[in-house]
Structure 1
Amino acid sequence: MILVIGATAHFGRQTVEALAGAGRKVRALSRTPEQAGLPEGVEVVRGDLARPETLGAALDGVTELFLVLPYGMDVQPLLDRVRQAGVRHIVFLSSGAVVDGADPQPDVIAAYHARVEQEITATGVDRTFLRLFFPAINSLTWAMQLQGGDVLRGPHAAAAASVVHERDVADAAAAVLGSPEHFGRVYELTGPQSLTQTEQVETLGRALGRELRFEEVPAPAVRQQLSQFMDGDFVGALLDLMADTAGKPAPVNDTVEQLTGHPARPYAQWVTDNLAAFR
């Protein structure tokens, strides 16, 4: 039995669907099972990560765990219960910002994910870490702006990323779950090409049949605005990561293909798959 934590959010939902589609025995954790909307045959169990005492039924009989966490969550109470339940393998969706051996880590995003990786390792349970930098779903933040015209505004127009389709993350997770050869391994997931934000907007515009353009906004103004709704240190780290990529091609590897047997989906495919969100 595979338990997916974060099963109704991005990455978790797609992983549940990939596992169910392959006929794997999968259970999903949800605070509101009646609203989960997961595929038929998936066992959905009520539980709340913020209340570890509610996780007993979800962990019963579980051999493997796919873990997608909100930033900043204290994972130790969960890991204590995971170890007690006899789970044998944890796959954690981590961050590409983590730098192995760095102390301190370069920013709060890397530091949080590195700490979770260390805490998982300390359980003694076999583990696999999937590190992801910039997922394609970040583009969804542009959907609301499109209602006001053809100009999308944001910081660092030249910031480059090899953005990853969430389906590729799910396929990679499904591939390593149940496969002992991946125990103890760390995989960095990338898309098949490096694209600047300007190039991403142009790709979106072609799919929509609109002449979209990206207009750069000074990063300090964006940081001040976003910090009203999000952790300020997190926002600062994210914008600094973007600034570091400006003018430099993002790394591209074939890890998705090596794990899944198919090439990573290009950003244009992600746009096509999610076009309804931008209309």
Structure 2
Amino acid sequence: MIAVIGATGNVGRALVHRLVAANSPVRALTRDPERAGLPAQAETVRFQLDDPAALFTGVTRLFVYAHATGPDLLDTARRAGVRHVVLLSSGIIKDSSDDETHPIHIVHATAEQHIRDSGLAWTFLRPNAFAANAFQWAPQIRTGSTVRGVFANGLTAPIHEDDIAAVAERVLLDDGHEGLAHRLTGPESVSNSEQIAAIGQALGRPLDFVEVPPGPGRPRTLPARPAPHARRPAQGLRGHRRRTSGDHHHGGATHGNPGAHVRRLGRGPRGGLPLIFSAGRHPHPVRSLWAQARTLSPQ
């Protein structure tokens, strides 16, 4: 059996639906099972470490996200019979030149080290920008036609959360991924201004991206992130304001061949910007801006 911690998150929910569709026994661990809204075929259990038998009995593979990962959880899982952990990590962790002081880096590097130290087999998934990150612009889009933010030409290759779940599904069901870290991106490098233009096209009204300088106002342009997290990505994007042929940039890193890992694992990423922002084939409580376009119309 596979256990999924964070089963109502953007990736976890899609993964539970995929495992159910594959007829794979899955235990969905969530803090509020009554409100989870997960498929009836999944065994939905309250996530609380004081009852390890309910969490991990019969489980051999575990999907977990960084904030839930710690020595106590991993020891409990190992003692119960879990053998392989798949961590939803972050693309901010690279093979060299890591900014080890970045708060996002610290959280995910710490989780990866806990897993390495646990004695369990492991696989790390390191996606860069999520498609759902576009929700950071929703308040501005609801109230007008101008979106203000830093680095209009800053590039990312957003990946749909269901594509991340598709890779996690293969890693959990197939052998051969132990000890590997898969870097995941979307299929296309796009700038912030291009994303806003594409969202405007979906809404049927023009949207403009107006660049503002990074600084004290930065947290207000990223309401979904705590202030320290909002400031540091702005610093990382500095100097990556122009497109470089063949590469895309995210958080100061350069990666070639967007979407390659998703494709290599038997799943082609959603092609083109409109499809990246589609809702996917599974129900999702927080669908993309494209799927919920009407909710972004001015009130």
- Secondary structure at 2:183 match in 1: strand
Counterparts of 1:265 and 1:10, CA distance in 2:
20
Counterparts of 2:97 and 2:59, CA distance in 1:
33
Which residue matches 2:252?
none
Q: What amino acid is aligned across from residue 150 of structure 1 in structure 2? A: S
Which residue matches 2:62?
65
Matches within 5 A, 1:207-222: 207-222=202-217
Counterparts of 2:45 and 2:131, CA distance in 1:
29
Which residue matches 1:201?
196
Q: What amino acid is aligned across from residue 152 of structure 1 in structure 2? A: V
- The alpha-carbon deviation at position 178 of structure 1 amounts to 2.6
- The alpha-carbon deviation at position 240 of structure 1 amounts to 2.2
Instruction: String of CA shifts for 1:106-126, please: whole Å, max 9, x gaps.
Output: 522122211211110111111
Q: What amino acid is aligned across from residue 144 of structure 2 in structure 1? A: G
- Whether 1:10 aligns to 2:10 is yes
Q: What amino acid is aligned across from residue 210 of structure 1 in structure 2? A: R
Which residue matches 1:123?
118
- Whether 1:81 aligns to 2:96 is no
Counterparts of 2:212 and 2:221, CA distance in 1:
13
Q: What amino acid is aligned across from residue 76 of structure 1 in structure 2? A: P
Which residue matches 1:237?
232
**Given the two structures, how large is their TM-score scaled by the length of structure 1?**
0.90
Root mean square deviation of aligned Cα? 2.3
Structure 1 gaps, min length 5? none
Which residue matches 2:292?
277
Which residue matches 2:42?
42
Which residue matches 2:22?
22
Counterparts of 2:155 and 2:185, CA distance in 1:
12
Counterparts of 2:184 and 2:23, CA distance in 1:
24
Counterparts of 1:116 and 1:164, CA distance in 2:
22
- The alpha-carbon deviation at position 227 of structure 1 amounts to 9.5
Percent of aligned pairs sharing the same letter: 36
- Secondary structure at 2:215 match in 1: helix
- The alpha-carbon deviation at position 224 of structure 1 amounts to 4.9
- The alpha-carbon deviation at position 207 of structure 1 amounts to 1.6
Counterparts of 2:243 and 2:50, CA distance in 1:
47
On the 8 A contact 1:191/1:264 being kept in 2, the answer is yes
Q: What amino acid is aligned across from residue 59 of structure 2 in structure 1? A: V
Counterparts of 1:204 and 1:225, CA distance in 2:
20
Counterparts of 1:43 and 1:118, CA distance in 2:
29
* Pair 269,101 (structure 1): closer, same or farther in 2 beyond 3 Å: closer
**Given the two structures, how large is their TM-score scaled by the length of structure 2?**
0.84
Q: What amino acid is aligned across from residue 178 of structure 1 in structure 2? A: L
- One of 270, 273, 286 as aligned partner of 1:267: 273
Most deviating of 249-258 and 167-176: 249-258
Q: What amino acid is aligned across from residue 47 of structure 2 in structure 1? A: G
* Pair 159,263 (structure 1): closer, same or farther in 2 beyond 3 Å: same
Matches within 5 A, 1:25-174: 25-48=25-48, 52-70=49-67, 75-100=70-95, 105=100, 107-174=102-169
- The alpha-carbon deviation at position 203 of structure 1 amounts to 1.2
- The alpha-carbon deviation at position 32 of structure 1 amounts to 1.1
Instruction: String of CA shifts for 1:143-185, please: whole Å, max 9, x gaps.
Output: 2222211111212211100110111001000011032211111
Counterparts of 2:209 and 2:187, CA distance in 1:
22
On the 8 A contact 1:198/1:213 being kept in 2, the answer is yes
Instruction: String of CA shifts for 1:112-142, please: whole Å, max 9, x gaps.
Output: 2112111101111111111011111100122
Counterparts of 1:225 and 1:163, CA distance in 2:
22
Q: Which has the higher helix share?
A: 1
Counterparts of 1:220 and 1:199, CA distance in 2:
23
Q: What amino acid is aligned across from residue 3 of structure 1 in structure 2? A: A
* Pair 214,227 (structure 1): closer, same or farther in 2 beyond 3 Å: closer
On the 8 A contact 2:262/2:268 being kept in 1, the answer is yes
On the 8 A contact 1:165/1:267 being kept in 2, the answer is no
- Size of the aligned set, in residue pairs, is 274
